[in-house]
């Protein structure tokens, strides 16, 4: 039986959340700091533990069938592979930063400047798009120190909270790209492996859809059911069950995480009581 070879980060920013996602998708496997590969015990897949920067090349070459990487790495490596799914974690941005003392006037400031980065391909695309002529210094690790030691006038690096920039006397001035974890695939999978991948993506969608929603239970006076139903349409419409107490019903629905607190305020104003919010483990649409 064919197995889907999945390349994931051996260590680093994505590793923990990637393995957590695969386990939530029902894959049982053993991982450890010294393992290079592992078989899933209950799914036709084999995990390859690789350096993040190497995953796009391994997928393009067909050594791995799919890989989970940061979108920033996918763009920078510029390999002939496909994005199959965005995974909704490890969100960050690749940004230009300059010393806090600089009066930044826009991208024209970068003309003639030196920019230190681990992402020369992406930075070059950004500069060309903005008609800027600058010198790119490719370095790996500790990019933030470059302006302080006179190596560069600006940097382009991954930013999550911005605290590292502030700690090094820098300020963020341009967002070059937004990035998150993505699932990429080889361009010519066999029919059998494509079917396995389709099953995995189905599970990933179910897990991620559940994370973005909450299951809501509440008690409502019957006269307010219609108004509350308009607030909580759910996947189709709320489930309404009469309570023992006359004139009251229990409503069950699903609410998106982004709308959660706004919905709660509206429900209370309409007379809802006994509101319970429950996490959803999986959600199949």
Pairing of strands 239-242, 154-159: unpaired
Q: How many CA atoms lie within 13 A of 257 on its CB side?
A: 9
The pLDDT, as a whole number, for residue 171 is 94
The pLDDT, as a whole number, for residue 235 is 59
User: When comparing pLDDT for 102 and 164, which is higher?
Assistant: 102
Average pLDDT over residues 250-273: 86
CA-nearest of 140, 127, 183 to 4 is 183
pLDDT in tens, 210-248: 988 888 899 999 999 999 988 876 656 788 899 989 999
User: CB of 120 within 8 A of CB of 53?
Assistant: no
Structural domains of the chain in order of their starting residue, each with its CATH number: 4-90+180-210 (3.40.190.10), 92-179 (3.40.190.10), 213-279 (3.30.70.120)
pLDDT in tens, 103-158: 999 999 999 999 999 999 999 999 999 999 999 999 987 899 999 889 999 999 99
CA-nearest of 3, 1, 9 to 182 is 9
The reported pTM is 0.86
Average pLDDT over residues 57-86: 97
According to DSSP, residue 54 is labeled G
Pairing of strands 66-70, 37-39: unpaired
The pLDDT, as a whole number, for residue 1 is 74
The pLDDT, as a whole number, for residue 32 is 60
pLDDT in tens, 79-110: 999 999 999 999 999 999 999 999 999 999 99
Average pLDDT over residues 200-219: 92
The pLDDT, as a whole number, for residue 115 is 97
Average pLDDT over residues 173-201: 97
Residue 192 clears pLDDT 90, i.e. is over it: yes
The pLDDT, as a whole number, for residue 33 is 57
Per the prediction, the chain carries an average pLDDT of 92
């Amino acid at each position: 039986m064919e197995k889907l070879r999945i390349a994931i980060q051996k260590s680093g920013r994505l590793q923990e959340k990637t393995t957590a996602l695969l386990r939530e998708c029902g894959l049982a496997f053993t991982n450890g700091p010294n393992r290079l590969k592992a078989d899933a015990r209950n799914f036709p897949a084999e995990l390859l533990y690789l350096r993040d920067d190497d995953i796009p090349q391994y997928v393009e070459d067909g050594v791995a069938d799919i890989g989970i990487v940061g979108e920033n790495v996918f763009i920078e490596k510029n390999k002939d592979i496909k994005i199959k799914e965005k995974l909704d974690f490890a969100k960050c941005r690749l940004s230009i930063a300059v010393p806090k003392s600089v009066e930044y006037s826009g991208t024209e400031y970068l003309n003639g400047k030196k920019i230190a980065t681990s992402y020369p391909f992406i930075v070059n695309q950004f500069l060309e798009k903005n008609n800027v002529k600058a010198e790119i210094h490719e370095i790996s690790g500790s990019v933030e120190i470059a302006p302080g030691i006179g190596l560069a006038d600006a940097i382009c690096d991954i930013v999550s909270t911005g605290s590292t920039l502030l700690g090094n006397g820098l300020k963020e001035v341009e967002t070059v790209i937004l990035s998150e974890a993505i699932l990429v695939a080889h361009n010519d999978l066999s029919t059998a492996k494509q079917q396995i991948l389709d099953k995995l993506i189905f599970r990933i969608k179910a897990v991620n859809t559940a994370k973005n929603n909450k299951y809501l239970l509440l008690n409502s006076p019957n006269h307010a059911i219609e108004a509350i139903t308009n607030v909580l349409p759910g996947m189709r419409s709320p489930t309404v069950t009469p309570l023992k107490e006359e004139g009251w019903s229990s409503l069950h629905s699903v609410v998106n995480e982004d709308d959660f607190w706004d919905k709660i305020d509206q429900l209370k104003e309409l007379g809802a009581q006994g509101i319970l919010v429950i996490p959803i483990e999986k959600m199949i649409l």
